[in-house]
Amino acid sequence: MKKYLFITLFALTLSATTLSSQEKYIEPAMSHVTVFRQGAQLSGDLKLSLEPGTTDVVAGGLSPYIDPNSIQVRGEGDFMITGVSHRNNYLANPAESSEIAALREKIEALTVKIEDEKTAVEVLIEKELFLKANYDVVTNKSTITPEQLKALLDIYTTNTESVKTAVLKKRRTIREYEKEKQQLENQLSSMSDKSKLPTGEIVITVTGTKAVNAKLILSYIVMNAGWYPSYDIRVSDITSPASVIYRAGIWQQSGTDWKDVKISLSNASPMTAGSLPLLNPWFINFYQPDQEMLNEVVVVRGARSRPATMEAKAADDMYMAAESAPLPVTVSESNISFSFDVNIPQTILADGKPEIVELQRLEVPATYSYAATPKLSSSAFLMGYITEWEKYNFLPGESNIYFSNTFTGKGYINTAELTDTLPVSLGADNNITVKRDRRVDFTSSKLIGSNKVETLSFLISIRNNKSQKASVKLRDQIPLSQNSSIVVEPVELSGGNHNTATGEVIWELTVEPRETKEIILTYTVKYPKNQKVLLE
At 132, give phi and psi (nearest 5°): -65, -40
Residue 426 CA to residue 410 CA, distance in Å, equals 9
Residue 73 CA to residue 61 CA, distance in Å, equals 17
What is the four-CA torsion angle of 171, 175, 180, 186, rounded to 10 degrees? 140
At 67, give phi and psi (nearest 5°): -80, 110
**Which residues have CB under 8 Å from 397's CB, separation 6+?**
228, 229, 230, 231, 412, 413
At 97, give phi and psi (nearest 5°): -65, 160
pLDDT for res 322: 37
Indicate if the alpha-carbon torsion angle 132, 133, 137, 140 is positive or negative. positive
Residue 79 CA to residue 57 CA, distance in Å, equals 13
Helix or strand run (H / E) with residue 171: helix 146-190
pLDDT for res 95: 55
465 and 490 Cβ atoms separated by less than 8 Å: no
CA separation (Å) from 205 to 21, 101, 168, 199? 10, 37, 69, 19
411 and 390 Cβ atoms separated by less than 8 Å: no
Q: What is the pLDDT along the chain (536 residues), one digit of tens a residue?
A: 444 434 443 444 444 444 445 788 998 888 999 999 999 999 999 888 988 999 999 999 899 999 999 999 999 888 999 999 999 888 765 556 677 778 888 898 999 999 999 898 888 888 888 777 777 777 776 677 777 767 777 777 888 888 888 889 888 999 999 999 898 888 877 665 555 678 899 999 999 999 999 999 999 999 999 999 999 999 888 888 889 999 999 999 998 899 999 999 998 877 665 566 666 766 655 455 555 444 444 333 333 333 333 333 334 444 433 344 566 788 777 766 788 999 889 999 988 899 999 998 989 888 888 999 999 988 888 888 888 787 888 888 899 999 888 888 888 888 777 677 888 888 888 889 999 999 999 999 999 889 999 999 999 999 999 888 889 999 999 999 888 889 999 999 999 999 998 999 999 999 999 999 999 999 999 999 888 888 86
Residue 439 CA to residue 14 CA, distance in Å, equals 104
pLDDT for res 163: 83
CA contacts within 13 A on the Cβ side of 103 = 18
Report pTM. 0.63
CA contacts within 13 A on the Cβ side of 513 = 3
In 349-420, the DSSP E strands lie at 355-364, 366-372, 379-387, 397-403, 406-413
Condensed to tens digits (0 to 9), the pLDDT of residues 432-469 reads 999 999 999 999 999 988 999 999 999 999 999 988 88
Q: Residue 464: what residue type?
A: N
Residue 122 CA to residue 116 CA, distance in Å, equals 10
Residue (of 405, 465, 460) closest to 429 by Cα position: 465
Residue 119 CA to residue 174 CA, distance in Å, equals 11
Number of residues written out for the chain: 536
| Three-state secondary structure call for residue 263 | strand
Tell the burial category of 285 from Cβ atoms under 10 Å away from its Cβ (0-12, 13-18, 19+): exposed
Beta strand 470-477 pairing with 366-372: parallel
Vertex 158 angle, CA 155 and 162, to 5°: 135
Q: Residue 491: what residue type?
A: V
CA 376 to chain centre: 31
Helix or strand run (H / E) with residue 50: strand 40-50
DSSP code of 152? H
pLDDT for res 221: 94
CA separation (Å) from 174 to 89, 171, 372, 390, 501? 42, 5, 62, 63, 73
pLDDT for res 100: 77
Residue (of 163, 155, 173, 318) closest to 245 by Cα position: 318
CA separation (Å) from 450 to 158, 267, 444, 453, 481? 103, 62, 17, 10, 18
Helix or strand run (H / E) with residue 417: none
DSSP code of 525? E
Residue 112 CA to residue 177 CA, distance in Å, equals 10
Condensed to tens digits (0 to 9), the pLDDT of residues 356-404 reads 999 989 898 888 889 999 999 888 888 888 887 878 888 888 999 998 8
- In 10 A of CB 44, how many CB atoms? 19
Residue 246 CA to residue 254 CA, distance in Å, equals 26
Residue 328 CA to residue 391 CA, distance in Å, equals 19
